[in-house]
Structure 1
Amino acid sequence: MHSSIPPNVYVALKLPSEVTKIVQTVPNSYGKPPSGPVIEVVANLNARNISLGKYGSFPCNQIIGRPFYATFEIADNADADGHVLHIVPAAELHTEALLADGEGDGDGEAGTSTPSTAFPQEDNRNIIDNKSTQQLTMQQIEELKQSSTDAGREIISKLLESHSALDQKTQFSRAKYMLRKRKKYLHRFTVEPMDVSALTEWMLEQKDPGRILELRDEAIGLIGAWANVHYGGSGEPDGAAKLDGVNQAKGRWLIVDDTGGLVVAAMAERAGILYPPEVLSGEGLSSTTKQGARPPQSTEDDAPAVDAMSMSASHTTLTKLARRAASWEPSKRSMHFKKKRRWTKVRNTVDETRAGGFDGLIVATLMDPASILKHTVPLLAGSAQVVVYSPYIEPLVQLADLYSTARRTAYITYKREVAEGAADDKEEDFPVDPTLLLAPTLHTSRVRTWQVLPGRTHPLMTGRGGAEGYVFHAVRVLPAIGKVEARGVQAKKRRTETS
């Protein structure tokens, strides 16, 4: 990915309130807050600012070309050059983090046992914390907002000075109080790239988690690890084996994705093919790109799908089609070629999928996994990894039972009896072929945030709930054809006598 913020890309703005805002870095544009699953960006020639609500607004051009993960501060008044954004130095951020950690250490260091007489345990039980403890009124705070020029630091200082019960609070309580005020009044934000991890967190915390099946970062990592998704190289190796024109050396995975493409994007990022090579290396961009605009490039929509036409130029059908297409209007002709390319792409995808030979299968859907694996497992190569994700454990428990050892033994016996004519056909008892997968297992992983303080260590009460998320894993095997018999002379074990 880019190390600096390029134009015309989506970025994540981390606000002090721990809210993520998704905007597009369109030069001279105004970023509208996302109002739904689809992110909208509306051009506004009058405003030309990105609004962050109570934190202020700033021109989009002032972050283009700046480094990612930099923290910006929005000034109330622009400087002589018209800039309202200033990068917060790393030393200042580091100092503030150390001060916050020092105030939140509590009454002693974790893991040490100190006598209660030397370090008395403080609490807030005798503190009456209401509106009367804050001497600063809302009118005075609004006046400070209008007159302040240091991005909220003066307001925080006045609030701490005018709090009558601040000295009675414990160190941990004072740190939490200061943190709340900093989140509320500091006009800062951090620009982060819009990668898979940021998109997952944004969908889970601020949008609809059900659209991505409540898929978390740790579950995505678990899926990629068990599916053995890895980087396959940047170029085609010499002498690479191919199947119907498909390179087999890089690895091919069949993915059934019901999360809106999140799983596909995560696996592509893990395999190193999500970001184009020119974005990674910066090659192929002219000087106009450095100034904030990508040069116009020709696309496939500008020309007909000539490679899809296997007939010769003198073919009668092709000649009639050419004359007929020449009589169409340009819009109709463009739509025809676009549909032709789409049909060709779908046909090639279907043919490649039916050819099989995949190195792995990943399923993330609410549909019955057995109905999917019945048709997709035969398309896998030997030793391919099969991974099925479900937010609930019940479908995966049933799937593991369908591929269990007992079910496999019963299926082999049933097939033998059917071949001998001693049993009736009962395919409904075996929805899938249990001999195709080996060692079915279930896994889960979830990161939980804990508050670690002496005598007050517990999970954070504000952590989100939701589905746990489970992963089914098995290995594709190729059953032996015919009857398996043991041959050869069995070596006799030497008997040992013990006295």
Structure 2
Amino acid sequence: MPEIGQNKVISPNEHCLVTMPSGSLRIVQLKPGGTINLGKFGHFLVDGTFGYAYGQAFEIVADKKVSPIKHLLVDLEDSNDGTPIPELKSSANNKDLTDIGQKIQKLTTQDIENMKKDGEGNQVARQIIEKMIQSHEAFEKKTVFSQEKYLTRKQKKFARRFQIDSLSSSALLNYYYREKDPQRVLDLSEETLGLMMSHANIMPGGNYLALDETGGLLIYALLERMQGLGSIIWLHENDQPNTWVLKQAGYTDVELDKMLRPISFLDFFEPDEDTGKVFKFTDQEVEEMPPQRRSMYAKRLAKAEKLRQTVEMVANHDLDAVVSISTLNPATLIPRVLEALAGSRPVVAYHQYKEMLIELDHVLQKDKRVIMTNISETKVRRYQTVPGKLHPLMTSRAGGGYVFHGLRVLPVEGVQAVGRGKKRKSDESAAS
């Protein structure tokens, strides 16, 4: 199984995450001989990125070719890898600085557009930024920190650079949580997903029951931690589970078939004698089948046998954890899947709204099959730093959801509590 993000290099036909100077993200597939369009940041030929480690930054040069660079953005002190900056002085403070827009910036929008048409690659961006600095009458009145902020802002707007990162489960989650539609991943944040993996004690060789309504994102995170060892029983409510995330994960069909065991609610909760069975033809009838029908029949037999084995695993009550990300009411769902768990195994459930998990907590406290229940919420606050200064970003996304976790136990029936003998001692002292 692929170890996402660990000593991997950029390879053909893989999905990856492209970070642009503005900070925006884009998921692309690196097809050999292809060209990737990054909008205003230019186009680049895919073949020039192969063989470099993930996390490598590139600069677009002439003829859509790329050249590796140290960083996606540079500062004023970086003379080898940055935009050429003329020898300019700086001010100790900004008290003499008056920002009056076009009156201090002589370079017009039309001039910038003409420069874009006359050149190509990141060389155009360098020329534009250098020209803007030279044409800025108040640039010398800025402090060094203000000059760096100005340079960074212009690089984010004009630099034709990008960075390629591996598409891990965390990167994919951040892409949808911050860039696209958080509701598509049920408002799940990266730190909340990490908390769930920790509470569920996911490790190689385990057998886990998962309920995933994020298109396979939870399954992807489980696969990363399991490293090709163990199995995942994927409980779903449709004929087939939604697997749009796994199509970008880099796993082959053989690897997924080895690890995943999809099962519907009906087969999980109400299995019968016919579950996992299929009508079998004789060997002669199979030989007489057309090749396509014979192949379909073999797949049907393999699927039925896998379902039968999955039902047996559930009936053995020996799974290592239950991990749920679902819109269904956990108070009615989680108690019904507890019997599949072995003793001293974690139960972890995620929901967007804590009220649903509070109801689950009340139900399980009366159930006596789960102890040490807890509902938690985690937040990671992003900070920006400059030398001698540290403060959080002014804006951040709310949400992230809530996590319930508890420990499955096996209550012993017919046990009566016995006191410590205080009553007997008091009776003996009274008799004496």
Q: TM-score, normalised by structure 2?
A: 0.74
Change (3 A) 1:436 1:56: same
Alignment of 1:352-367 (within 5 A): 352-367=313-328
- Structure 2 CA distance, aligned partners of 1:184 and 1:329? 60
Indicate whether 1:252 and 2:207 are aligned.
Answer: yes
Partner of 1:175: 148
- Structure 1 CA distance, aligned partners of 2:323 and 2:63? 53
State the shift of 1:86 in Å. Answer: 0.9
State the shift of 1:298 in Å. Answer: 9.7
Return 183-192 or 132-141, whichever deviates more: 132-141
Three-state SS of the structure 2 residue aligned to 1:255 is strand
Partner of 2:68: 87
From 183, 202, 205, give the equivalent of 2:178.
Answer: 205
Post-superposition CA distance 1:23-56 (Å, at most 9, x none): 222222x3xxxxxxxxxxxxxxxxxx22222222
Post-superposition CA distance 1:458-486 (Å, at most 9, x none): 64234223x24111111111112103132
Three-state SS of the structure 1 residue aligned to 2:342 is strand
Please tell me whether the aligned partners of residues 14 and 191 of structure 1 are also in contact (alpha carbons under 8 angstroms).
yes
State the shift of 1:21 in Å. Answer: 1.9
Change (3 A) 1:347 1:487: same
From 375, 386, 390, give the equivalent of 1:442.
Answer: 375
Alignment of 1:57-456 (within 5 A): 57-77=43-63, 84-89=65-70, 96=78, 122=94, 127-145=98-116, 146-147=118-119, 150=123, 152-169=125-142, 171-230=144-203, 232=204, 250-273=205-228, 321-404=282-365, 408=366, 434-451=367-384
Change (3 A) 1:218 1:132: same
Please tell me whether the aligned partners of residues 72 and 163 of structure 2 are also in contact (alpha carbons under 8 angstroms).
no
- Structure 2 CA distance, aligned partners of 1:154 and 1:452? 29
Return 456-465 or 473-482, whichever deviates more: 456-465
Change (3 A) 1:492 1:170: farther
State the shift of 1:121 in Å. Answer: 7.3
Please tell me whether the aligned partners of residues 93 and 142 of structure 2 are also in contact (alpha carbons under 8 angstroms).
no
- Structure 1 CA distance, aligned partners of 2:346 and 2:316? 18
State the shift of 1:135 in Å. Answer: 1.0
Three-state SS of the structure 1 residue aligned to 2:148 is helix
Indicate whether 1:482 and 2:414 are aligned.
Answer: yes
State the shift of 1:122 in Å. Answer: 4.7
Change (3 A) 1:68 1:93: farther
- Structure 1 CA distance, aligned partners of 2:9 and 2:218? 26
Partner of 1:9: 14
Q: Which structure has the larger Rg over C-alpha atoms?
A: 1
One-letter amino acid of the counterpart of residue 3, structure 1: K
State the shift of 1:75 in Å. Answer: 0.3
Please tell me whether the aligned partners of residues 21 and 72 of structure 2 are also in contact (alpha carbons under 8 angstroms).
no
State the shift of 1:151 in Å. Answer: 5.1
Unmatched 5+ stretches in structure 1: 31-48, 79-83, 101-118, 233-249, 276-295, 302-316, 409-433, 494-499
- Structure 1 CA distance, aligned partners of 2:392 and 2:134? 32
| Residues matched between the structures, number | 367
Three-state SS of the structure 2 residue aligned to 1:3 is coil
Please tell me whether the aligned partners of residues 58 and 72 of structure 2 are also in contact (alpha carbons under 8 angstroms).
no
One-letter amino acid of the counterpart of residue 147, structure 1: G
Please tell me whether the aligned partners of residues 392 and 468 of structure 1 are also in contact (alpha carbons under 8 angstroms).
no
State the shift of 1:91 in Å. Answer: 12
Post-superposition CA distance 1:378-432 (Å, at most 9, x none): 221111111111122111111122234xxx3xxxxxxxxxxxxxxxxxxxxxxxx
Post-superposition CA distance 1:140-172 (Å, at most 9, x none): 212322236625112111111212343455555
Three-state SS of the structure 1 residue aligned to 2:218 is helix
- Structure 2 CA distance, aligned partners of 1:60 and 1:390? 40
- Structure 2 CA distance, aligned partners of 1:274 and 1:172? 51
Change (3 A) 1:299 1:373: closer
- Structure 1 CA distance, aligned partners of 2:120 and 2:323? 55
Partner of 1:472: 404
Please tell me whether the aligned partners of residues 123 and 170 of structure 1 are also in contact (alpha carbons under 8 angstroms).
no
Higher strand proportion: 2
Partner of 1:306: none
Change (3 A) 1:172 1:492: farther
Partner of 2:265: none
- Structure 1 CA distance, aligned partners of 2:165 and 2:289? 48
Change (3 A) 1:401 1:487: closer
Partner of 1:54: 40
Change (3 A) 1:454 1:27: closer
Please tell me whether the aligned partners of residues 437 and 475 of structure 1 are also in contact (alpha carbons under 8 angstroms).
yes
Please tell me whether the aligned partners of residues 265 and 274 of structure 1 are also in contact (alpha carbons under 8 angstroms).
no
- Structure 2 CA distance, aligned partners of 1:370 and 1:66? 49
One-letter amino acid of the counterpart of residue 341, structure 2: L
Aligned-residue CA RMSD in angstroms? 3.7
